[in-house]
Structure 1
């Protein structure tokens, strides 16, 4: 199977005629239809996509083979995937989240800090969730050029320069200081 990237999810039915509520994970939400047909993660189902309107928190869409409210309701929570080669190429300083998850993280001295487990965007910029030995509960690192000066997809790693005190060590002030 080709390399798949999650581009959206079905949030349930919309109305009574088989439309679905669609959450798009694309930078341009309506571009999700450009990557159709979309498949389930295991590839067992494939859907054409026709966006019918913008709704609160997403899009209303018709999916091929989904004609009733019950069929749309049954798909709630299903994630939709597109083959990676259908997605647009990105500039050198932009990355798909799927490409970053699982990469090793090393500091500027080459010491392994851990591995990227997830990426969050709460509105103020992306945060990399890094898990590894010595990182209790994980580390949230801002995904900025200052904190992550190098992303080397070919080598499967990123170089991180965390702000002082974020991980601990000599830059962290003594308690009570």
Structure 2
């Protein structure tokens, strides 16, 4: 296994506030079930220098209230506000062949069906209607591709590539026509 694969980390949550005077924290989680964040073992900060062992106290509508081993006062907990919590990628459960962690998709080289380079996947977003891959081309602005088999027929994590079929353009199909001029087919 390559060194970067061993050290690659995945963002699981962020300390968004404190709760009470005993140093409990509020964590916004990015896990499928909020309380699962404590089940991956010690989490680290963005640098990997600090490790945090969490115990979930309860789930709230804003995330989880948790305790960090060794933190017992509000002032110390407050200093951690904004800390992003990561876990080594190797600690996450394996996925089925048709399932992917968002972190595994980011950074993939996007190719057209004919092999032409389209750009890179820079994020995975969901605005309520399903996951979207954000494709950043070499030039120009990003575009969003629906993360569905119809538009993303192949993902190869070994070669770090993804095949993209672009949806039909939603722009004006007759861009060459003068304003007020009828479309000509």
TM-score when scaled to structure 2?
A: 0.87
Superposed displacement of residue 154, structure 1: 0.7
1:152 maps to 2:159: no
Can you list the C-alpha shifts for 1:82-136, whole angstroms capped at 9, x where unaligned?
11221111111111111111111011111111001111112211111111134x3
**Distance in 1 separating the partners of 2:34 and 2:129:** 19
Q: How many residues align?
A: 172
Superposed displacement of residue 33, structure 1: 0.6
Paired residue for 2:166? 162
Paired residue for 2:49? 44
**Distance in 1 separating the partners of 2:123 and 2:88:** 21
What root-mean-square deviation, in Å, do the aligned CA atoms of Structure 1 and Structure 2 show?
A: 1.6
Corresponding residue to 1:97 among 92, 97, 102: 102
Structure number, greater radius of gyration: 2
SS state of the match for residue 7, structure 2? Answer: coil
SS state of the match for residue 163, structure 1? Answer: coil
Moved over 4 A (4+): none
SS state of the match for residue 59, structure 1? Answer: strand
Unpaired runs of 5+ in structure 2? 1-5, 176-181
1:110 maps to 2:99: no
TM-score when scaled to structure 1?
A: 0.91
SS state of the match for residue 22, structure 1? Answer: strand
Paired residue for 1:65? 70
**Distance in 1 separating the partners of 2:14 and 2:40:** 14
**Distance in 1 separating the partners of 2:24 and 2:127:** 29
Paired residue for 1:127? 132
**Distance in 2 separating the partners of 1:117 and 1:150:** 17
Unpaired runs of 5+ in structure 1? none
Superposed displacement of residue 41, structure 1: 2.0
